[in-house]
A and B are shown apart, each in its own frame.
Chain A
Amino acid sequence: MSRTPVVVAMSGGVDSSVAAARLVEQGERVIGVTMKTFCYTEQAGPTRTCCGLDGILDARRVCDTLGIPHHVFDMEEAFTRDVIDDFVSEYVAGRTPNPCVRCNSNTKIPDLLRRAQRLGAERIATGHYARIEQAAGGAPVLRRGLDPAKDQTYFLWGVPQHVLPHLRLPVGDLTKPEVRARARALGLSTADKPESQEICFVPSGDYGDFLRLRLGAAHPAVSAGDLVAADGEVVGRHAGYGRYTVGQRRGLGGGRGQPLYVLSVRPDRNEVVVGREEELYRDRVVLGGMNWIGVAVTTGQQVEVQLRYRAQPTAAAVEWVEDGRVALHLTEAQRAVTPGQSGVLYSGDRVLGGGRIQ
Chain B
Amino acid sequence: MAATIYLDHAATSPLRPEVRDAMLPWLHGHGNPSSVHAAGRSARVALEHAREQVAAALGAGRGEIVFTSGGTEANNLAVLGRWRRARRGAVVCSAIEHSSVLGAARAAAADGAILTLLAVDEEGSVQPEALRDALQLGPAVVSVMWGNNEVGTLQPIDALGDLCREAGVCFHADAVQAVGRVPVRVDRSACDLLTVSAHKLGGPPGAGALFVRAGTRLEPLVHGGGQEHGLRAGTENLAAAVGLARAIELAVAEQASEALRLAALRDALAELITSAAPGTRINAAGAERLPHILSLSVPDADREALLVSLDLEGVAASAGSACRSGTIEPSHVLSAMGSHDPDMAVIRLSLGLTSTEDEVREAARRFAALIPRLRAHVLEASR
Beta-carbon contacts under 8 Å, A89-108 to B: none
Query: In the assembled complex, which residues on chain A have CB atoms less than 8 Å from the CB atom of B381?
Result: 114
Query: In the assembled complex, which residues on chain B have CB atoms less than 8 Å from the CB atom of A281?
Result: none
Assess whether A128 is interfacial by the CB under 8 Å rule: no
Residues A72 and B327 in contact, CB atoms below 8 Å apart? yes
Beta-carbon contacts under 8 Å, A31-65 to B: 31, 34, 36, 39-41, 53, 56, 60
CA–CA, A5 and B1, complex, Å = 13
Stretch at the interface among A80-88, A116-124, A268-276: A116-124
Assess whether B373 is interfacial by the CB under 8 Å rule: yes
CA–CA, A114 and B311, complex, Å = 19
Question: By DSSP majority rule, is chain A's interface helix, strand, loop, or mixed?
Answer: mixed
CA–CA, A53 and B325, complex, Å = 6
Assess whether B219 is interfacial by the CB under 8 Å rule: no
- Given A31-B312, A69-B311, A69-B312, CB of A119 within 8 Å of CB of B324: no
Number of interface residues of B (CB under 8 A): 17
Residues B325 and A118 in contact, CB atoms below 8 Å apart? no
- Given A117-B377, A120-B373, CB of A36 within 8 Å of CB of B327: yes
CA–CA, A127 and B302, complex, Å = 27
Residues A73 and B312 in contact, CB atoms below 8 Å apart? no
Assess whether A74 is interfacial by the CB under 8 Å rule: yes
Among B302, B309, B326, B328, contact of A120 (Cβ-Cβ < 8 Å) = B309
Query: In the assembled complex, which residues on chain B have CB atoms less than 8 Å from the CB atom of A31?
Result: 308, 312
Query: In the assembled complex, which residues on chain B have CB atoms less than 8 Å from the CB atom of A72?
Result: 325-327
Residues B311 and A71 in contact, CB atoms below 8 Å apart? yes
Query: In the assembled complex, which residues on chain A have CB atoms less than 8 Å from the CB atom of B308?
Result: 31, 71, 119
Among A40, A73, A115, contact of B324 (Cβ-Cβ < 8 Å) = A40
Assess whether B115 is interfacial by the CB under 8 Å rule: no
Residues A71 and B326 in contact, CB atoms below 8 Å apart? yes
Beta-carbon contacts under 8 Å, A1-57 to B: 5, 31, 34, 36, 39-41, 53, 56
Query: In the assembled complex, which residues on chain B have CB atoms less than 8 Å from the CB atom of A36?
Result: 325-327
Query: In the assembled complex, which residues on chain B have CB atoms less than 8 Å from the CB atom of A69?
Result: 311-312
A222 CB to nearest chain B CB (Å): 31
Among B324, B328, B377, contact of A41 (Cβ-Cβ < 8 Å) = B324
CA–CA, A353 and B127, complex, Å = 63
Query: In the assembled complex, which residues on chain B have CB atoms less than 8 Å from the CB atom of A74?
Result: 304, 327-328
Interface centre among B305, B328, B373, B374, by most A CB within 10 Å?
A: B305
A42 CB to nearest chain B CB (Å): 10
Among A56, A119, A120, contact of B325 (Cβ-Cβ < 8 Å) = A56
- The A/B interface has a contact count, at CB < 8 Å, of 49
Assess whether B323 is interfacial by the CB under 8 Å rule: yes
Number of interface residues of A (CB under 8 A): 21
CA–CA, A296 and B328, complex, Å = 42
Beta-carbon contacts under 8 Å, B330-383 to A: 373-374, 377, 381
Query: In the assembled complex, which residues on chain B have CB atoms less than 8 Å from the CB atom of A56?
Result: 325-326
Query: In the assembled complex, which residues on chain B have CB atoms less than 8 Å from the CB atom of A117?
Result: 377
B348 CB to nearest chain A CB (Å): 17
B368 CB to nearest chain A CB (Å): 15
CA–CA, A357 and B326, complex, Å = 38
CA–CA, A56 and B327, complex, Å = 10
Query: In the assembled complex, which residues on chain A have CB atoms less than 8 Å from the CB atom of B327?
Result: 36, 72-74
Residues B323 and A119 in contact, CB atoms below 8 Å apart? no
Query: In the assembled complex, which residues on chain B have CB atoms less than 8 Å from the CB atom of A71?
Result: 304, 308, 311, 326
Residues B324 and A118 in contact, CB atoms below 8 Å apart? no
A85 CB to nearest chain B CB (Å): 20
Among A39, A73, A118, contact of B377 (Cβ-Cβ < 8 Å) = A118
Residues B374 and A118 in contact, CB atoms below 8 Å apart? yes
Q: Which residue of A lies closest to B377 (CB)?
A: A118
Render B47-86 as a binary contact track against A, CB cut-off 8 A, 1 for contact.
0000000000000000000000000000000000000000
CA–CA, A36 and B309, complex, Å = 19
Query: In the assembled complex, which residues on chain B have CB atoms less than 8 Å from the CB atom of A41?
Result: 323-325
The 9 closest A-B pairs by CB, nearest first: A118-B305, A72-B326, A74-B327, A118-B377, A72-B327, A71-B308, A56-B325, A36-B327, A41-B324
22 pairs, CB–CB < 8 Å, chain A vs chain B: A36-B327, A39-B323, A39-B325, A41-B323, A41-B325, A53-B324, A53-B325, A56-B325, A71-B304, A71-B308, A71-B311, A72-B325, A72-B327, A73-B327, A74-B304, A74-B327, A74-B328, A115-B304, A118-B302, A118-B373, A119-B309, A119-B312
Residues in B lying within 8 Å of A, measured CB to CB: 302, 304-305, 308-309, 311-312, 323-328, 373-374, 377, 381
